[in-house]
């Protein structure tokens, strides 16, 4: 007879509770939260009112008795391609060392980390080497894989690194269960396509039938939503409530943040959040019985930058070939997913993007380029003289 286990989880760098909400849906219990952003704290206090909230991870000296896991989506600003790329020694991303401090002083058998895939390349993988070496010195086995949130039916192309470590067992059979061929559409005809209107020189963030990754946006509350080229030719941005839903939260999950900051700040909170469906899937994997089937075989040792999946195998960091889709849930079309009114991309934003795109060598459908020009003309016609 199969049995399920429930972990007591300490949520560090909790943001708006993506890890915690997903893990709770898989049967786990959050026993303490740690977050220093005032707007995020307002959300956590509202959505998790009965859980102790510590403001600064550096002030957290004791974990609740019986804590089974630390879950931490530690700050990505120093590791992100869109950030300042200072690396793991940056002031913000370097706070992951506080996680290791707590693991060293407490008997916590499990760890779950999340961050951006660019950390696998930055500094030829120095950030990941620091993390796994620290874990090995503390007696943990580890495994990680890049997972795309589209695998869980959400029309948002969002890839993140999820690392699972344990002192009790090899975590690889749990995290590596499932590797399917992606079924995301590639033909843009008749489908809404997402893109970054802030790009146009080095990339588009192009996503057929989905939005690109929702970004953190401005630290001062200036919203930075993705843009969408709708099937009828309109160029729009989604409502913040649909952005929350794309991340697996209910609509208006971040509304309590408006009590302490600008409404636009909610985009930063949503963009920095952990995908709830992915967290739930991982929570289900660790709650269930020990897998009785092997997950496969490594195909070499890590050398330089890190692959999309790897694990500690017989004392070596070993490459594992896996899809970024562990499952293939039915994906709802983006236009059908959106529930709330969209907003036309502003004339200034569209004009700037179209100018950058026209002067670049980036490939984009001719119909899309024409839609941009028509949108600019339409917006100009409604601008009052």
Distance between CA atoms of 167 and 178, rounded to whole angstroms?
Answer: 23
Task: Name the β-bridge partners of 170.
Answer: none
* Element (DSSP H or E) covering residue 5: none
Separation in Å, CA 257 to CA 39, 84, 261, 272, 368: 5, 26, 6, 14, 36
- Cα separation, 245 vs 322, whole angstroms: 27
CB atoms within 10 A of CB 381: 7
What number of residues does the chain have? Answer: 385
| Residue 22 burial (10 A CB sphere; 0-12, 13-18, 19+) | buried
Report d(CA 160, CA 275) in Å as an integer.
9
For the question of residue 76 being annotated catalytic, the response is yes
For tokens 């060598």, name the residue: 361
- Among residues 34, 76, 193, 299, the one annotated as catalytic is 76
Please report, to the nearest 10 degrees, the dihedral formed by the alpha carbons of residues 153, 156, 157, 158 taken in order.
-100
Q: Is-contact 273 16, C-beta < 8 A?
A: yes
Contact 279, 19 (CB under 8 A): yes
**Residue whose tokens read 């999950």:** 253
Determine the Cα–Cα distance for residues 216 and 115; give it in Å rounded to an integer.
13
3-state secondary structure 254-291: CHHHHHCCCCCHHHHHHHCCCCHHHHHHHHHHHHCCCC
Paired sense of beta strands 207-208 and 343-344, if any: unpaired
- Residues with active-site annotation: 76
């Amino acid at each position: 007879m199969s049995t399920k286990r429930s972990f007591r989880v300490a949520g560090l760098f909790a943001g708006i509770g993506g890890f915690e909400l997903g893990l709770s849906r898989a049967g786990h219990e959050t026993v303490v939260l740690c977050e220093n952003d005032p707007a995020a704290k307002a959300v956590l206090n509202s959505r998790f009112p009965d859980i102790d909230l510590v403001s600064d991870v550096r002030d957290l000296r004791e974990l609740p008795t019986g804590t089974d896991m630390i879950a931490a989506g530690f700050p990505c600003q120093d590791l992100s391609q869109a950030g300042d790329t200072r690396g793991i020694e940056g002031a913000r991303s370097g706070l992951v060392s506080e996680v290791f401090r707590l693991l060293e002083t407490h008997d916590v058998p499990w760890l779950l980390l999340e961050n951006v895939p660019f950390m696998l390349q930055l500094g030829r993988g120095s950030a990941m080497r620091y993390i796994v070496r620290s874990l090995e010195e503390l007696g943990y086995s580890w495994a990680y894989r890049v997972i795309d949130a589209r695998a869980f039916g959400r029309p948002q192309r969002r890839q993140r690194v999820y690392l699972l470590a344990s002192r009790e067992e090899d975590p690889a059979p749990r995290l590596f269960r499932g590797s399917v061929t992606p079924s995301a559409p590639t033909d843009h005809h008749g489908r809404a396509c997402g893109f970054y209107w802030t790009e146009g020189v080095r990339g588009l963030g192009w996503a057929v039938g989905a939005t690109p990754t929702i970004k953190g946006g401005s630290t001062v509350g200036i919203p930075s939503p993705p843009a969408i080229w709708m099937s009828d030719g309109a160029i729009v941005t989604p409502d913040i409530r649909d952005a929350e839903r794309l991340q697996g939260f209910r609509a208006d999950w971040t509304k309590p943040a408006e009590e302490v900051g600008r409404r636009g700040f909610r985009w930063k909170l949503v963009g920095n959040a952990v995908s709830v469906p992915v967290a739930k899937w991982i929570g289900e994997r660790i709650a269930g019985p020990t897998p009785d089937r092997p997950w496969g075989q490594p195909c070499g040792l890590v050398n330089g930058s890190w692959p999309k999946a790897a694990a500690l195998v017989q004392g070596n960091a070993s490459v594992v070939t896996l899809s970024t889709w562990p499952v293939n849930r039915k994906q709802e079309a983006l236009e059908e997913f959106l529930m709330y009114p969209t907003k036309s991309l502003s004339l200034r934003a569209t004009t700037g993007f179209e100018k950058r795109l026209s002067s670049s060598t980036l490939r984009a459908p001719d119909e899309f380029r024409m839609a941009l020009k028509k949108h600019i003309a339409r917006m100009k016609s409604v601008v009052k003289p």
